[in-house]
Amino acid sequence: MTHPSASAPLPLDSDGYPAAGGVARRPAGDAESARANRRWWDAAAPAYLAEHGRDLGDVDFLWCPEGLREADAHLLGEVAGRRVLEIGCGSAPCARWLRSAGADVVALDLSAGMLARAAELNRSTGLAVPLLQAGAGALPLADASVDLACSAFGGLPFVADVEGALREVARVLRPGGRFVASVNHPMRWPFPDSPDPDDLRIVSSYFDRTPYVETDSAGATVYVEHHRTVGDWVRAVVGAGLVLTDLVEPEWTPGRTENWGQWSPERGALVPGTLVLVCTRP
């Protein structure tokens, strides 16, 4: 049942992000997660891009807060002339970077707020990347229609049925196609959400998969994030019919000073913050 306040605009906190009336650890299914996260990102888009837009760039491919960029990592391999799908594109800087590198790109996101900013940047940069509003669990593309798919912290941590989402990726990939996704490293889950290394203390179980849920003042779900262990990710990839070829845990880029939520140079020197899944479709 839809909560009475589920369609109302989300009230914003003083930092511009949606205000959380409450926080809980409880089950949250696919429809609830998608509905809540769509509203949250629609409301949060201006604050998020004001805070991180300069780091993300307008035409750049940043895999993670540690500073790993596709221009240096080449995790996708050769992109020129390839048909590429970006899942969870946000304001679509990665898709525009791929377009500038000669790829034929389509960019997808759940949030209309994020896609509105992506459309503005398409116009200002002169890089016209097609934009689609859809969730990761139901990709509006034909079977075997893309050579590469990628997701830089986009979509997968917010999806309840990640196995279904990965099956969708496998479906749209051509045989031999590659999928690369960066997600929150599962080791982030047991620790407080703080960039301070002094806060590296266990406050919850690594093995507790119960989703993190935020609610508004009326009790409606406004944000959901799902936790999976490293083993869960491996099993989900293999279960979707993909082959896992690499697991990358990026180290902090020397000289990088950017703090990003829980990520910081000091904390990044001690524990991993990002897991990158590199997969192929047989």
Number of domains in the chain: 1
In this prediction, residue 7 carries a pLDDT of 60
pLDDT the model gives residue 122? 98
Instruction: Look at residue 180 in the predicted model and tell me its pLDDT.
Output: 98
Averaged pLDDT for residues 86-115? 98
- Phi first, then psi, for residue 87 (nearest 5°) are -105, 125
Per-residue pLDDT tens over the stretch 196-221: 999 999 999 999 999 999 998 888 99
**Residue 218: its pLDDT value, please?**
86
What percent of the chain has a predicted confidence (pLDDT) above 90?
Answer: 94
Is 80 a member of any domain?
A: yes
CATH of the domain at 260: 3.40.50.150
**128 belongs to a structural domain:** yes
Q: Which of the four pLDDT bands, split at 50, 70 and 90, describes residue 6?
A: low
- According to the model, what pLDDT value does residue 9 have? 76
In sequence order, the 6+-apart residues with CB closer than 8 A to the CB of 38 are 110, 111, 112
HEC per residue, 6-61 = CCCCCCECCCCCECCCEEEECCCCHHHHHHHHHHHHHHHHHHHHHHHHHHHCCCCC
Domain that holds residue 112: 57-210+228-280
Instruction: Look at residue 5 and tell me if it is in a domain.
Output: no
Instruction: List, for residues 20-77, the tens digit of each pLDDT value.
Output: 999 999 999 999 999 999 999 999 999 999 999 999 999 999 999 999 999 999 999 9
Q: Is residue 23 part of a domain?
A: no
Structure-token pair, residue 212: 């993190």
Return the ∠ at Cα 275 (arms to 172 and 203), rounded to 5°. 130
pLDDT at 150 over 50: yes
Give residue 4's pLDDT band: very low, low, confident or very high (50, 70, 90).
very low
> Is residue 19 one of the residues assigned to a domain?
no
What's this model's pTM, rounded to 2 decimal places? 0.96
Mean pLDDT of 227-248: 98
Helix 230-239 / helix 162-172 crossing angle, nearest 10 deg: 40
CA–CA dist 80, 101 (Å, integer): 6
Q: Is residue 4 part of a domain?
A: no
The pLDDT of residue 2 is above 70: no
- Across all residues in the chain, what is the average pLDDT? 95
